[in-house]
A and B are shown apart, each in its own frame.
Chain A
Amino acid sequence: MGKCRVSSRADLAYARQHARKRFGSAACAECGQGDELTLQEFEGRVLCRRCTLLAQGLAPTEDDHPFGKRNSPRTRAMDADDHALVTALQGYWPRATQRNKHGSTMLTIAAGLRRLGNLLALLREHIDTLLSEVERMARWLERAHAYLERKLGPAWERDVPMDEDP
C-alpha cells in the first residue's frame, strides 16, 4: 500500500477512507463518536477507543510517543481517541522517519515536525467546525436581539435583572 507523504490533511482523508471500509458510516454505540479512525469492534459492538477502555474498566488514556516509538522513548498520556488519530497519521509518515534504523537525530526532529503537522491538521479540522458554528451562533444572537428589540423596545436590555442567577 502506498503511503501518503503529501500533506497531513490529505493523509487524514485517505486514512479515514481506509478505516471506513471496516465499519462504513457507523458511530460509537456508546458516545456517538463518528470518526472512523477511532472505531473498533468490542464484544460485538462498534465502540470508539475511549469507550472500549472504559468498558474494560480502564482509564480512557493511552501513552503516546510523540516522536514515534523508534525515535524516542518519551511518552505522555493522551486521550485514547486522540491517540488513535495521531497513531493512524503516524502510519503515513515516510518509512525511514518511522523506523529511523540508525537513530538519526535529524530524522527524530523530522518526526517531531511531522507530529506537529498532524496536530495542526487535526486542530484545523476543529477550527473549521468551530468557525462555522461560531458564525452561526453570532447570526442567531443578532436575530434574537432584533426580535426582542421589536417586541420590548430598544432599551429592553436595561430591564434584564443581571444581578440574579438564572
Chain B
Amino acid sequence: MNGLRVPILTRAYNERASSPSKARSVRERPSRKAAVSPFDENVLVFDTETTADVEQRLLFGTYRLYRERALVEEGVFYADDLTRADRARIRRWAIARGVACCSQRSFYWEHVLHIGQDGGLLVALNAPFDLATIMPIARPAGKRKQKGRFLGGFTLNTEWTGRDGSPKRLKHPLSVKRLNAHSSIFDIGPSGRALDVRTLYWALTNQSGSLATIADALETEHRKTSLEAYGAISDEALDYARNDTLVTAECLWKLAQEYERHPIALHPADAVSPAAIAKAYYVAMGISPLRDRFAGFPSDVAGAAFSAYYGGRVEARIVRQPVPIVKLDALSMYPTIFVLLGLWPFVIAEAIEPVEATEAVRTLLDTITYEALLDPARWKDLCAIVEIEPDGDLLPVRTTYAADCTGSSGRAPNIGLNQLHAPGERLWYALPDLVVAKLSGKAPRVLRAIRFQAGAPLKTLVEVALRGAMPVRPGDDMARLTIELRKTVASDLRLSDDERQRLDSFLKVLANSGFYGIFSQVTRDVRNGYDATYTAALAKWRTSVVERAQRMYDERMATEAPYWDALDGCGGEDHARYALRCAPETLEERGRV
C-alpha cells in the first residue's frame, strides 16, 4: 500500500471532577440586586500617551469620570518620572483648559482604586495596553490568582517609596490576560470591572476596529484627530489626547445604547465575544448549558461524539492547475446547516437519548445519492455518529502534516481530507462525513451507529425579544427564526436605513455565533496548571520575546544613549516583555508598522 504513515489525533471527552452546578459561571446568573445598569455607576474613561520608543513609557494620560452618564470630572495625569518642567507644562495646560490635574500615582489612588474597590467601570480602548502603561511592573500571573484563571496573563503593579525609604508595591495588583486578538479578561478589584471599548464593539458587531474606524461606524459627535509628532509633550499632544478620551467615551455611550436593547443579564465587561451574547440570550430564554442538563448522558457516547468532531475546514481538491470556477455563496452557512439537520430541539430538550441505529445507517449509506440530498427532509436522517473501520475511505484526518510526518516537528495539527487506511482500528465519524466518503468512492464499513432522540422541551423556556424588538417564543426554532428575520428586516419599509442595518448586523452576528461554535467550545481548566509541553512552549516563547525585545532595545540605546544600561537592573525586562506583548496591536493601530 502506498501512502504516508501518520499518527491520528482525535478529540476526547473528559469527565468533570466537580459537579455541573458549580461549573456554571456565576456571571451568567441574573443579578438578584435591584437592577442598576453598570453604565449608570461610576464610569472612568481614560487613555494614555507614551514615548515613541520600544519601551513605550507613560508620558501622560487623560480621563473623564461619569456618574449616571453625566460628566463629573475631566482631567489629565502626568507620569511620575517626568521632569519638573514637563509636569509644570502639563499643569499649565490643565489650568488653561479648566480640567483637573494629578500625578500617575494619584490617578491610581484617587480614581482607579475607587472603581476597583467600590464598583464601576474602568474603560479604555485597547485596555490591556493602557493598564500596563499606568501600572508598568508586569509579572506572569500565578496559579493562585483566581484559581489559575489568569495563568498565561500578567499581574500589573506600581511601585513607590514608603515613608521609611523602602520600595512599596500594591498587595493586590491588577491582572490582565489576553484571550485572543479581540478580548481580554481583567481583575481590577473586588467590585469594579474593566471594559475594553474595542471588545464590546466586536461582541456587538463581529467586527474589529481602531478608535477612528469605530467612531466613524458609530457616527459619534467627535472623531479622532491626528498628531504631527507622537511621543512628546506639547499642548497639541495634550489636546489630541483629550480628544481621544472624549471620542472613546462617545463610542462607549453609543455602544451602551445598543447593548441595553438586549434583554440579557450579562455584564457588558463579560461580553467578550459575539458568542458570549448568544449564550446570554440562551440563559435569558431559560436554556441551561447542555453539560448541566445531561449529567446522566453515557460518557462513552459523549466520547464518541467528541472524537467524531472535525470542525469546519477549507480545502482545494484540484491544485496547481487552472480550472474554471463558479462563485457559490451560502446564506448563513452554519445556521442553515443547523436548521436543515433539525438541531434546535436538542438545544431545548430536557434530555437526549442515544438510540442504536446501525442497520438503518448502513442502509442509508448504501442507498444515498446526490439527488436524495437535495430533499431537505432527508437531512434530518443525517443526525448520527458512526463507528467505522477505515479502508481507503475519503475521510477527514487530523494529524500533523509536517515534512517528516512523525508529529515531532512541533507544528499544530491540521485536518485534511484523505483516503484513510486504518486496518484493525475503529474510528467515529459524523454521518455527513461518511456520506461524502460514499459519494466520493465507496460506503465505509459501518460497525456501529447511534442516532439521537430529543426529549420534551425544557419547562423553563420563556419568551425573549431579540434586541428588544423581535420576539422568540418557547415553541419557535430560534435558528430558523433568526435566518428568516434577516429576510424580513431587509424588506421592512417601516424601519429607517440605520435601524435596518443595525438589526441585520445583530441577526447576522447572532446567527453565526449562536448555532455552531458555542456547542463545541472547549475551555481549558487551568486549575491544575498547564501540562509540561505547553509550559515548555510558553517558556520558549517568553525567552524569544525577551531576547528580541532586549536586542531591539540595545540597538536603539547603542545609537541614542550609549551609556544607558541601568534599565537592566530596574525591571526593564518586565517592561520590554509586556510592552512587546501589547505593542503589535498598538503600533498597528497607530500606523507605525
Query: Which of these binds chain B: A20-28, A37-45, A64-72, A155-163?
Result: A20-28
Report Cα–Cα, A20/B33, bound state, in Å. 11
Partner of A6, one of B42, B70, B100: B100
Within B249-273, the residues touching A (CB, 8 Å) are none
| Contact across chains for B42 and A17 when beta carbons are under 8 A apart | yes
Closest to B70 in A: A128
| Contact across chains for B113 and A2 when beta carbons are under 8 A apart | yes
A6 nearest CB across to chain B (Å):
5
- Determine whether B331 belongs to the interface, using a CB cutoff of 8 Å to chain A: no
| Contact across chains for B42 and A2 when beta carbons are under 8 A apart | no
Contacts of A12 in B (CB 8 A): 72
**Chain B binding surface, main DSSP class:** mixed
Partner of A4, one of B33, B35, B67, B110: B110
- Determine whether A101 belongs to the interface, using a CB cutoff of 8 Å to chain B: no
- Determine whether B117 belongs to the interface, using a CB cutoff of 8 Å to chain A: yes
If A2-B113, A2-B114, A13-B67 touch, whether A21 touches B75 (CB-CB below 8 Å) is no
Partner of A25, one of B34, B42, B72, B106: B34
A interface footprint on B87-122 (CB within 8 Å = 1, 0 otherwise):
000000000000010100010011101100111100
- Determine whether A9 belongs to the interface, using a CB cutoff of 8 Å to chain B: yes
Contacts of B109 in A (CB 8 A): 2
Within B30-79, the residues touching A (CB, 8 Å) are 33-36, 41-42, 65, 67, 70, 72-73, 75
Contacts of A128 in B (CB 8 A): 70
Contacts of A6 in B (CB 8 A): 73, 75, 100, 102, 106, 110-111
Report Cα–Cα, A3/B109, bound state, in Å. 7
- Determine whether A99 belongs to the interface, using a CB cutoff of 8 Å to chain B: no
Report Cα–Cα, A18/B41, bound state, in Å. 11
Report Cα–Cα, A76/B406, bound state, in Å. 87
Contacts of A4 in B (CB 8 A): 110, 114
Report Cα–Cα, A128/B279, bound state, in Å. 41
| Contact across chains for B73 and A10 when beta carbons are under 8 A apart | yes
| Contact across chains for A25 and B36 when beta carbons are under 8 A apart | yes
If A6-B100, A13-B65 touch, whether A21 touches B106 (CB-CB below 8 Å) is no
Partner of B117, one of A1, A5, A9, A13: A1
| Contact across chains for B118 and A14 when beta carbons are under 8 A apart | yes
Contacts of B120 in A (CB 8 A): 17
Report Cα–Cα, A1/B116, bound state, in Å. 11
| Contact across chains for A17 and B110 when beta carbons are under 8 A apart | no
Closest to B109 in A: A2
Contacts of B110 in A (CB 8 A): 2-6, 10
Contacts of B73 in A (CB 8 A): 6-7, 9-10, 13
Contacts of A10 in B (CB 8 A): 65, 72-73, 100, 110-111
Contacts of B33 in A (CB 8 A): 24-25
Partner of A9, one of B36, B72, B106: B72
B104 nearest CB across to chain A (Å):
13
Partner of B67, one of A3, A16, A24, A25: A16
Report Cα–Cα, A10/B66, bound state, in Å. 9
- Determine whether B146 belongs to the interface, using a CB cutoff of 8 Å to chain A: no
Contacts of B501 in A (CB 8 A): none
A41 nearest CB across to chain B (Å):
16
| Contact across chains for B119 and A24 when beta carbons are under 8 A apart | no
Closest to A18 in B: B118
Contacts of A25 in B (CB 8 A): 33-36
A residues contacting B by CB (< 8 A) are: 1-7, 9-10, 12-14, 16-18, 20-21, 24-26, 128
- List 19 contacting pairs A-B, 8 Å CB cutoff, sorted by A: A1-B117, A3-B110, A4-B114, A6-B100, A6-B102, A6-B110, A7-B100, A9-B72, A10-B72, A13-B65, A13-B67, A14-B42, A17-B118, A18-B114, A20-B36, A20-B41, A21-B118, A24-B33, A24-B34
Q: In the complex, given contacts A5-B106, A10-B72, A18-B118, what are 17 additional A-B residue pairs having Cβ atoms less than 8 angstroms apart? A: A1-B113, A2-B113, A6-B102, A6-B110, A6-B111, A7-B73, A10-B73, A10-B110, A16-B67, A17-B42, A17-B67, A17-B119, A17-B120, A18-B114, A20-B118, A25-B33, A25-B34
B residues contacting A by CB (< 8 A) are: 33-36, 41-42, 65, 67, 70, 72-73, 75, 100, 102, 106, 109-111, 113-114, 117-120, 191
